[in-house]
Structure 1
């Protein structure tokens, strides 16, 4: 009996030690690069939010987010910074600080805050991938054009892991796609997803009627998502999906807020 009691004490001690170790391993987000035009924030062990700025007539200087995911010295970037200069700085930082090869750049829709710095990626021989409608709209508007198109969804390797880019329906634009990094359960929602407290923002290319159903589809596809990075503003959890659904749902008849978000 005494031996059994000693064994139980050892097991309990090991369990407590393991729990303590897990608590200590919780990642604390930190800013890892900052200039006047570009900020990079590490938000998980292998994922980084990049934020650049777009000068607009209606909303002033707007911060615009993208996402970098890494694995085994490889990286994939969702959305370019807003111009070639900021994109060049981001590419340099990924190569020299993270020591990663950039496997792909994926603009999540055709606006400047997604592909405004695409030329810099082209000049650095980074393959670009976009939903076929994004390429059509970029051509129509005379914007930089991604090289490779996909329909419905795209799966690419980053090191030993996969990323997914998928079109769920119209919302902010006709071509908005969502990026997902399953190994860290992190989503790049782009401008389809709003930060908590945001207004409806720019609706010039939007399908407001379909927007809530599109986000509902995103929510059903990724029930285990832990972190969501919106196109503008603060990242959060799956509450961002519910907030966006309610913002554009039939019960919301309030006018568009004077906000770029």
Structure 2
């Protein structure tokens, strides 16, 4: 039997290691873990998942709307509900049956339907909801589902042993838009305050365009170490989404 040269063995072992590492990365980064007509869930890190539902609009068509699931231990915090109660029921069921977790809280990041359209389903399951005080005020005025617990500037929630912060940095897409930050993995959920790369300005009916860039500047300064940024619509990325959004709304 011929001996295999050591150099070939080393190369072969490296290839096997690379293949296994790639397989592991594909399992934890950007890997779809659930897909139906009304709900898609993608894993973006060891502890975070993006949930995407859909909202039919007159001006922009059937718009995919992102939310975030943050997990530690056997608990999760959800940012933004799916757009309808049926999709929220599907999301809650997936969290309970696939992650084997309970939902500690849900946080609508502003008062539009792409953030709280499915809120009633969470309430029906006894899941507490938290939102900026202005989100509650504007939801009541519009006659939509109303978050239960309000805060003024910031809020700290806990899932498992990890802290998740929710902060209002100022006006932009809406007067009440907040962002969520998971420090364990430096993941920022920017919601509709943050745009994906190459996005247009989108719906501005409730926006403060003049303040938008300054608000995102404050977000950027608060989280210089951020690694993953999730916008309200479109593809997640890194801190370049913050820079893109700042430039998009900066006055010429």
Per the TM superposition, whether the score is higher than 0.5 is yes
Q: Deviations over 1:66-105 (max 9, x none)?
A: 0000001100000000000000000000000000010000
Q: Distance in 2 between matches of 1:147 and 1:36?
A: 29
Q: Distance in 2 between matches of 1:170 and 1:221?
A: 16
Q: Which residue of 2 aligns with 1:104?
A: 105
RMSD: 1.4
1:194 alignment partner, SS class? coil
Consecutive unaligned residues of structure 2, counting only runs of 5 or more, are 1-13
Deviation at 1:57, TM superposition (A): 1.0
Q: Distance in 2 between matches of 1:109 and 1:247?
A: 21
Q: Deviations over 1:107-147 (max 9, x none)?
A: 00000000000000000110000000000000011110000
Q: Distance in 1 between matches of 2:49 and 2:110?
A: 20
Q: Which residue of 1 aligns with 2:9?
A: none
Q: Which residue of 2 aligns with 1:64?
A: 65
1:168 alignment partner, SS class? coil
Consecutive unaligned residues of structure 1, counting only runs of 5 or more, are 1-16, 252-261
Q: Distance in 1 between matches of 2:146 and 2:251?
A: 35
Q: Which residue of 1 aligns with 2:242?
A: 241
Whether 1:231 aligns to 2:228 is no
Q: Which residue of 1 aligns with 2:121?
A: 120
Whether 1:144 aligns to 2:132 is no
Q: Which residue of 2 aligns with 1:213?
A: 214
Q: Which residue of 2 aligns with 1:197?
A: 198
Deviation at 1:186, TM superposition (A): 0.3
Deviation at 1:51, TM superposition (A): 0.2
Q: Distance in 2 between matches of 1:219 and 1:52?
A: 27
